[in-house]
Amino acid sequence: MYDWLNRLPKAELHMHLEGSLEPELLFTLARRNAIDLPWAGVEQLRDAYAFNNLQEFLDLYYQGADVLRTEQDFYDLTWAYLLKCQAQNVVHTEPFYDPQTHTERGIPFEVALNGISQALQDGRKQLGISSGLILSFLRHLPEEEALKTLKQAMPYRDAFFAVGLDSSEMGHPPSKFQRVFEQARGEGFAAVAHAGEEGPPEYIWEALDLLKVSRIDHGVRATENPKLIDRLIEEQIPLTVCPLSNTKLCVFDDMAEHPILELLERGVKVTVNSDDPAYFGGYVTENFMALHDSLGMTREQAQRLAQNSLDARMAP
Ligand code: HPA
Ligand code: ZN
């Protein structure tokens, strides 16, 4: 089954580049940049990947991202991910990156963006993987910081096609970023947002009505609100679901409780994605495999999930 799932042509629509930083590359970059790490080695770092919630993960994710300093570092990170895409027949990807994770620690805006953009361009030419970058705002930071980031990004507008919203969800509703998204959409960017991962269904309503997003990232807590489910079906709004992430961050205690196949059968446009593959135990194929192992996903269901991901692509 693994090989069959691996060969299935797929798109990945929810993947944070900083979350694809494997421990081996993290240590390589730390050595290259002469950074001291608090972990003795790769194994000890991997042992730290045990999370009770989103925030515990984010603390380690931001700490890990600190080894990314030069354009080459961002290139190597992105290229390693694209090679994974090639190995798993991900023919199209729309990854996120968080500019503020880097500008906040003094890395110039263009350093991260140039490295990532160059790798995506090489991926198109050398690997035949189509892609579009999503610039994602950190929702735990103030609105003004997001506005400043959007302004900083404008000279590089061709390097990304959409804006997103991620980081700590609780207490940071989509409404906080209504003006930022209005500006971004006014500039012609598509919009997506994380909502209903840890946050309540109301955050999903807000993302749709206030931020006017075309896809919801995660969205699994929509199951608590039947009216919302009806709307997602009626408007065929894609959900970029990340099964291994949801169990690693204790959104669900066990994969057997995951609602993705029920949502699929009800007609919600759900897709399968890896979120932060280096931290959550696998890339797209491993996420599909977990659904097979724990929920009895059939090949026919896998084909529909993969087709949904291809249908939900937005990058030009
Ligand atoms: N949720 C919110 N923010 C994130 C995530 C996530 O799963 N991964 C990286 N930033
Ligand atoms: Zn995410």
Quick check: CB of 217 below 6 Å from ligand 1?
Answer: no
Find, among 65, 41, 12, 95, the residue nearest to 308 by Cα.
12
DSSP 213: -
219 vs 228: CA distance, rounded Å: 10
Å from CA of 35 to ligand 2 middle: 27
The amino acid at 237: I
Q: Is 49 exposed, middle or buried (0-12, 13-18, 19+ CB in 10 A)?
A: middle
**Mutual angle of helices 109-122 and 143-153, in 10-degree steps:** 60
Per-residue pLDDT of the chain (316 residues; tens, 9 = 90+): 999 999 999 999 999 999 999 999 999 999 999 999 999 999 999 999 999 999 999 999 999 999 999 999 999 999 999 999 999 999 999 999 999 999 999 999 999 999 999 999 999 999 999 999 999 999 999 999 999 999 999 999 999 999 999 999 999 999 999 999 999 999 999 999 999 999 999 999 999 999 999 999 999 999 999 999 999 999 999 999 999 999 999 999 999 999 999 999 999 999 999 999 999 999 999 999 999 999 999 999 999 999 999 999 999 9
Quick check: CB of 275 below 6 Å from ligand 1?
Answer: yes
All structural domains of the chain, each given as residue ranges with its CATH number in brackets, are 2-311 (3.20.20.140)
CA 98 to ligand 1: nearest atom:
10
232 vs 268: CA distance, rounded Å: 6
Which residue's structure tokens are 């919630």? 53
Residues 6 or more apart whose CB falls under 8 angstroms from that of 262 comprise 223
Q: Which two tokens stand for residue 218?
A: 């995660």
Quick check: CB of 100 below 6 Å from ligand 1?
Answer: no
Residue positions annotated with a catalytic role: 197
CA 169 to ligand 1: nearest atom:
2
* 275 known ligand binder: yes
> Looking at this predicted complex, what is its ipTM?
0.96
Quick check: CB of 22 below 6 Å from ligand 1?
Answer: no
Closest protein CA for atom 5 of ligand 1: 167
Å from CA of 19 to ligand 2 middle: 9
Ligand of minimum distance to the alpha carbon of 246: 1
Site to substitute for ligand 1 among 276, 279, 280, 287, most atoms within 8 A of C-beta: 276
Å from CA of 241 to ligand 2 middle: 9
Q: Which helix (H) or strand (E) holds 285?
A: helix 284-295
Quick check: CB of 73 below 6 Å from ligand 1?
Answer: no
